[in-house]
Amino acid sequence: MDPSAQALELLGVVLAGGAWLCSLATTMLTSWLTLSTELLPTEFYELGLWETCVIQEHGGLECRPYDGLLGLPPNIKLARIFMVLTLGAGLLGLLLAIPGLHVISCCSDLPDIRRRKRAMKAAGGALCLVAGVLGLVPVSYIAHLAVLNFHDETMPEMVPRWEFGDALFCGWAGGVLHLIGGVLLITSCLCQQRETLDPPEYFSQVRVRPGQSSFRSKTEYV
């Protein structure tokens, strides 16, 4: 296998693994949105997918989970669903891509093992692309709503506004890494497939003399 294709597939798996960890951290973090008020400057509020937290200036932290699923805002419900799907698709993509690596010599006794490993790696790359899109949707949507509410002129200026939290940036990073990892895995599959379709070097050393038939010609070797 071409060393460049091996480097692409290894880098793709590493990026996909890092992207999955970023998506997991994004799902668990409570800092999707942050809020601070002028009335209570010593307290900061954080909004997450599973709970809301109040952070005291002296280091105290108090979190409270949401009361129930039916009473959740629609954006939180949407973000939960998409992030769970992101984690599932990203994990399944890794589980398919890792056995498809050239350096992993598993099931070598199966017929046509190279084609099967390439198919597994391509499927893993496609799932990473899906995970990247699914992960970018909720963080971008909640960020869009935060921007709209922040610049809402109908609300008094004294009313505090929610702002971007660290979880949104972590989610953007995870989505982009998932996309890059998926592209690298699929590119390595295309390079490997092109390598198998290239003619052997033996035929590149054969030259047919001019004026002779291609079926009964004598060949000479360079």
In a domain, 141, yes or no: yes
Name the β-bridge partners of 55.
44, 61
Which range of 4-8, 19-23, 145-149, 204-208 scores highest in mean pLDDT? It is 19-23
- Residue 85 inside a domain? The answer is yes
**Residue 109 falls inside a structural domain:** yes
Nearest by Cα to 31 from 148, 177, 143: 143
pLDDT of residue 164: 92
What's 160's domain CATH number?
A: 1.20.140.150
Where does the pLDDT of residue 40 fall: very low under 50, low under 70, confident under 90, or very high at 90 and above? low
| Rg of the chain taking only CA atoms, in angstroms | 27
**Is 88 within the bounds of a domain?**
yes
Interval 130-181: pLDDT, tens: 999 999 999 999 999 999 988 877 777 777 788 899 999 999 999 999 999 9
H or E segment at 73?
none
For 52-77, how does the pLDDT look when each residue is reduced to its tens digit (9 = 90+)?
A: 988 887 777 888 888 877 778 889 99
In DSSP terms, which residues pair with 54 in a beta bridge?
A: 45, 62
Exposed/middle/buried for 189, CB within 10 Å: 0-12, 13-18, 19+? buried
Does 50 reside within a domain? no
Residue 222 in this model has a pLDDT that exceeds 90: no
Evaluate if residue 203 carries a pLDDT over 60: no
Task: Kindly report, residue by residue over 80-128, the tens digit of the pLDDT.
Answer: 999 999 999 999 999 999 888 887 776 555 667 778 888 889 999 999 9
In DSSP notation, 9-70 reads: HHHHHHHHHHHHHHHHHHHH-S-SEEEE-SS-TTEEEEE-SSEEEEEETTS-EEEEE-S-ST
Is residue 52 one of the residues assigned to a domain? no
Answer yes or no: is 193 within a domain.
yes
pLDDT score at 220: 44
**48 found inside a domain:** no
What is the length of the chain? Answer: 222
State the total domains in the chain.
Answer: 1
pLDDT, position 196: 58
End-to-end, the C-alpha distance of the chain in Å comes to 26
Range of the domain at 79: 3-29+73-198
